Amino acid sequence: MMDEKAGKAVLRREFLDARRLLTDAEAEEAAGALAVRALELPELARAGTVAAYVSVGREPGTRALLDALRARGVRVLLPVLIADNDLDWGVYEGAGHLARAGRGLLEPDGARLGVRAVLEADAVLLPGLAVDERGLRLGRGGGSYDRVLARIEEARVSPALVVLLYDNEVVARVPEEPHDHPVHAVVTPTGVRRFTA
């Protein structure tokens, strides 16, 4: 287990370093392509509620996607980081209703819906640093989304789990720990890859 944790730490540094090398133009172009690809997903086309997140820094951009979903009439839930590193949720009401929060995050400024609000989602868009051919996602290591995925599994609901990444972040294998949950698909600027459970 320690080798897997150490392996994750090394990979996280490598992927974050690669993201830092992206120019503003490259990141913006990738965000536009990512939104187009994600909006083509049937899981998002038929979703009434999508749990998503606001990208920050050099994360694959989500803002155009959030606005497009909202324009379609989709109820978009965004995470709110709480003191114990779990995630509460609020409704996305547009870019003008995002507030700066800890760790450089942007969160909805409206009412909090509770940690179980994610269970209402038809699809959950997950941040990450990589995904492997088994559909295992490498997150940033804070455990917030591990809690979300465990909550979904415990509630026996089955939203589509989709991670948004750059093309070079789809890899052969990421280190695996017992709490890791596979995703159903990865969307990159050049396409979609699905995983079977």
Sorted by where each begins, the domain ranges of the chain are 2-194
Using DSSP, state whether 167 is helix, strand or coil: helix
Which ranges of 21-143 would DSSP assign to H, the alpha helix? 24-39, 42-45, 63-71
Residues of the chain short of pLDDT 50, as ranges, are 1
pLDDT value at residue 109? 96
pLDDT of the residue at 197? 55
The pLDDT of residue 1 is 45
Residue type, 45: A
* Whole-number Å distance between alpha carbons of 160 and 64: 20
For residues 184 and 194, the answer to whether their CB atoms sit within 8 Å is yes
The hierarchical CATH code for the domain 2-194 is 3.40.50.10420
